[in-house]
Amino acid sequence: MPGYTGSKEDFISVLESLASAGRAVTAIDQRGQHESPAAPDRAGYALDQLASDVIWVASAIARDTGRVHLLGHSFGGLVARHAVLAAPNAFLSLTLLGSGPGTIGGERARVLTEVLAFLEPAGDDIDMLGTLIASIWETQLKPQAQAEGTPQDIIEFLARRNLGSCPLGLAEMARHLLNCPDRTAELADLASLPVLVGYGENDDAWPTDVQDMMAKRLRAERVCIPGAAHSPAVEAPETTAAMLTAFWNQSESVR
């Protein structure tokens, strides 16, 4: 499951390695992201609604393969945790990749707060929200990508993804990142569910010490991925795939 502003394509670099290890892997867009249908209104982006989609997909896959291992990256980790707490028997394990115990902080929180303030005049007007988000892309995100030397074909994809995602969904997911409660204690109570906390050594979303403490509270396996920042599946795909394969194999061997 991808994070905020992300999509299934964020996992392209790890899929082949995971498949070569014998895994059938499904990457999804969350509701309103990229190529997934939008919710009818703001309420459709509540965490329990996003989690219900994950449970439904897991159930559909399980009809052919049995219970599934669940991975959530960043905001996707918050939704994944919500899904596991709602339906713990649907999953073999949970991996939180570059995700934290609750509210995001630091520079990313500041940016999200400014984005929401910029979008506030639009309310629930989808067209106006879309216009404002397009402005953010053209004046900030696109120039930043160009300055970082991002290849043109990737910039074109990012534009399609950014402008194709539901504007209301982007606003609501930002609010969740700024207001999500810490449910680590509840997750820790699921003693039979194996949990992996993995993060890049240079993660700038949730500080690494915060993710480390979350892992300790969960009595979870913890892996710090060298050379990666907030998106290990993109920045260190081989290391990330090896980490996942080892964890999933171990999770199955103890059951």
Q: What pLDDT shows up at residue 160?
A: 96
Distance CA 34, CA 162 (A): 7
Domains and CATH numbers, the chain: 1-255 (3.40.50.1820)
Distance CA 228, CA 117 (A): 31
Q: What is the mean pLDDT of residues 232-243?
A: 97
Residue 213's alpha-carbon distances to 63, 90, 101, 218, 220, in angstroms, are 36, 26, 9, 9, 10
Residue 208, classed as helix, strand or coil, is helix
Mean of all residue pLDDT scores within the chain: 95
Q: What is the mean pLDDT of residues 103-131?
A: 94
Which residues lie below 8 Å from residue 147, measured CB to CB, with a gap of 6+? none
Q: What pLDDT shows up at residue 255?
A: 60
- Prediction pTM value: 0.95
Instruction: Locate the DSSP E strands across the chain.
Output: 68-73, 91-97, 195-200, 221-225
Q: What pLDDT shows up at residue 164?
A: 95
